[in-house]
A = this chain, B = another copy of it.
């Protein structure tokens, strides 16, 4: 059974991540097209876990719903997982977003909708004046997405991490509450 639907856009829904979603997350997270842009280490399934730590990041699956039934209680198993969004560090500083879609679903606007939903979630859920996101400088698609939503480039940490064969700069973005809701 898919996790609980927590918010919906026109085309995608965000659902809680449950243990049954681990294989999807691990497979997608191992894909070089996803892993290298994020600078993530490889992990086996044991290293993924659904945390019960209340300070753990919020993590949501991005899903396409197989039918159009909008009811809350449907147990439809025909959701298609297409990515993941997360909100980290909200318990002590401005939250930091993470997001990815599997490559088959790039370029169709799902990313914009997903990221927009999670920004809405952040500003409704947390009393934070801003939200941030860091992207490696070679990740043009991800940077374009942030800029489209109004995120402001705030800096560039030079040679931040070794990713895909090179030392990469990390470009830092931020969005103030008043920049979003205006």
With a CB–CB cut-off of 8 A, which chain B residues contact A93? 39, 160-162
Closest 6 CB pairs of A and B: A155-B155, A4-B30, A127-B162, A130-B159, A4-B27, A93-B161
Q: Once bound together, how far apart are the Cα atoms of A54 and B92, in whole Å? A: 11
* A157–chain B nearest beta-carbon distance, Å: 6
* In the assembled complex, A11 has its CB within 8 A of some CB on chain B: no
A27–B79 alpha-carbon span in the complex (Å):
15
In this complex, how many residues of chain A approach chain B with their Cβ under 8 Å: the count is 71
The residue from B27, B41, B156 contacting A155, defined by CB atoms under 8 A apart: B156
Q: Does A143 contact B (CB under 8 A)?
A: no
Measured CB to CB, the closest approach of chain B to A70, in angstroms, equals 11
A-side binding surface: helix, strand, loop or mixed? mixed
**Do B160 and A45 touch (CB < 8 A)?**
no
Instruction: Give me the interface of A with B, judged by CB distance under 8 Å.
Output: 1, 3-7, 16-19, 23-24, 26-32, 35-36, 39, 41-47, 50-52, 54-55, 58, 71-73, 75, 91-94, 102-104, 123-130, 132, 152, 154-162, 164-165, 167, 172, 174, 176
Do A71 and B104 touch across chains, with their CB atoms under 8 A apart?
A: yes
- CA–CA, A174 and B161, complex, Å: 13
Partner of A156, one of B5, B18, B154: B154
With A3-B44, A132-B157 as known contacts, state yes or no: A124 contacts B51, CB within 8 Å.
Answer: no
- Give the Cβ gap from A77 to chain B, nearest Cβ, in Å: 12
